[in-house]
Amino acid sequence: MSSGCLGRRAETAVNRRLVYDGTLIIFEAVAESPHNSFSLVILTFVASPIPRPPSILLFGATSILGFHIARRFPHALVPFTSPGNTSPTVQEWATLNLEDPEWVKKVFSQHQPDILLYCHAVCDVPKCEADPAWAYEVNVGHLNRVLSFLPETTRLVYVSSDHVFGGDGVYHEHAPPCPISVYGRTRVEAEQMVFRRPGSLVIRTGLAIGPSPNGRTGHLDWLRYRTQQNLPIAIVEDEYRSTVWAEDLAVRVMSLATSPVTGIRHISATQAISRVTLANFLLNALGQETDFYRESRFQRSAPHLGKVELTSLFSDTLAQPLASVLDGHPVNTPLLSRRLSDPPIVEASQL
């Protein structure tokens, strides 16, 4: 702390702030007596470090949500992709090797992250039904390996799914899970592992709509690809879910991840949307014919969700519903066109 005298009149107190070399310096100028021929002004320098942004690792940057998080916040995190994705859009990112304990140990030793944002999972319901052992290895075994080496000081944020539920209904955070598929059961088991770690957060999401890294996965690109290839499109007519834009979901998930919130949170939508309504909307937006046939979920070989709508018991800002994909987006608007295209890389952190 230092002080000095200024030989000029100071009628009022003045406060100034500036940032220099990562340090916040606060100047306080206090007038001792405005009636004297000169005023004694005391300058007080208070230096305190500016908090640095948290270091974040993102596991699962090739999921729809993970891809949008990585593109939206490129300067705020280090992305890791799931094995097997050779898309040019993710080729510069590191690849996960969660089957190797030594690799997991080395990554955490090297990065010492403040936050691990875990979006890694296999979510193909029919494939999980066909090979439950593989599904459990990826969705439960990989996470268990991560937990074995994750530093105690690292906050774990695990992104789960509405597939932990199955029957028709509106589900809040305290609703008991009731999965109907192998995939859903792996999610429930993974959540239980996360709950046992103090300070962690489980985020359940519904259906995210947005482009994928390879242009073929996710509901939007699946519709686009099959239409372009003149392949048949079957839409399950009795499925309704909380459906939001992936870029909106990415921002909310990052806000929750960097908040003090722990436990479990649902990210809801303003309305649950049927797959038929969604398909009609997206195909119209893509300028394609709405040429598809309908099936009941009971006609599918693998278990299929019915009407599963997420809601929240909380009332803070981070618990407010996101806009559904149908809200405020008439076809052929610039905003809608952007949402249907590859997510842009944001040049500055949005944290």
Q: Mind listing the pLDDT tens digit for each residue in 69-120?
A: 999 999 999 999 988 777 777 888 999 999 999 999 999 999 999 999 999 9
Residue 159 clears pLDDT 70, i.e. is over it: yes
> Both tokens of residue 249?
């979901």
**Both 189 and 222 in a single domain?**
yes
Does 79 fall in a domain?
yes
Q: Residue 261 is part of a domain; what is its CATH number?
A: 3.40.50.720
Does 194 fall in a domain?
yes
Does 114 fall in a domain?
yes
What own/partner pairs with CB < 8 Å and gap ≥ 24 does 13-21 have?
A: 19/50
pLDDT band at 335 (very low <50, low <70, confident <90, very high): low
Alpha-carbon span 135 to 163, nearest angstrom: 14
Sign of CA dihedral 143, 144, 150, 153: positive
Q: What is the distance in angstroms between the CA of the first residue and the CA of the last residue of the chain?
A: 32
For residue 294, how many other CB atoms are within 10 A of its CB?
Answer: 13
pTM, two decimal places: 0.82
**Both 24 and 162 in a single domain?**
no
* Residue pLDDT, tens place only, 6-21: 334 344 444 444 433 3
Residue 4 clears pLDDT 60, i.e. is over it: no
* 3-state DSSP helix/strand/coil % of the chain, to nearest 5: 30, 25, 45
**Both 89 and 31 in a single domain?**
no
Does 346 fall in a domain?
no
- From 6, 33, 49, give the residue that closes a domain: 49
What backbone torsions phi and psi does residue 213 show, to the nearest 5 degrees? -60, -35
Does 226 fall in a domain?
yes
Alpha-carbon span 113 to 324, nearest angstrom: 33
> Both tokens of residue 323?
């806009």
* Residue pLDDT, tens place only, 220-235: 999 999 998 999 999 9
Confidence (pLDDT) at 231:
94
> Both tokens of residue 226?
């099959």
Domain region containing 38: 14-49
**Number of structural domains in the chain:** 2
Does 348 fall in a domain?
no
**Both 155 and 303 in a single domain?**
yes
Residues 70/61, Cβ–Cβ less than 8 Å: yes
- What would the 3-class secondary structure string for 86-145 be? CCHHHCCCEECCCCCHHHHHHHHHHHCCCEEEECCCCCCHHHHHHCHHHHHHHHHHHHHH
Confidence (pLDDT) at 332:
55
Give the CA distances from residue 252 to residues 258, 268, 321, in Å, rounded to whole numbers and listed in that order: 10, 11, 10
The letter for the amino acid at 284 is: N
* Residue pLDDT, tens place only, 263-319: 999 999 999 999 999 999 999 988 888 889 999 999 999 999 999 999 999 999 999
Confidence (pLDDT) at 56:
98
Q: Between 203 and 17, whose confidence is greater?
A: 203
**Both 105 and 121 in a single domain?**
yes
Q: Between 192 and 40, whose confidence is greater?
A: 192
Does 320 fall in a domain?
yes
Percent over 90 (pLDDT), the chain: 69
Question: Strand 41-49 and strand 23-31: pairing?
Answer: antiparallel
Confidence (pLDDT) at 54:
84
Q: Between 329 and 276, whose confidence is greater?
A: 276
> Both tokens of residue 227?
């239409």
Residues 280/230, Cβ–Cβ less than 8 Å: no
Residue 238 clears pLDDT 60, i.e. is over it: yes
Q: Which of the residue ranges 26-35, 53-62, 125-134 would you say has the lowest mean pLDDT?
A: 26-35
Q: Tokens 């589900």 belong to which residue?
A: 171
- Enclosing H/E stretch for 282: helix 275-285
**Both 144 and 173 in a single domain?**
yes
**Helices 218-228, 275-285: crossing angle, 10 deg rounding:** 60
Residue 121 clears pLDDT 50, i.e. is over it: yes
> Both tokens of residue 154?
């690292």
**Both 68 and 38 in a single domain?**
no
Does 165 fall in a domain?
yes
**Both 36 and 181 in a single domain?**
no
**Both 45 and 80 in a single domain?**
no
- Enclosing H/E stretch for 204: strand 201-205
**Both 188 and 303 in a single domain?**
yes
**Both 135 and 42 in a single domain?**
no
**Both 62 and 119 in a single domain?**
yes
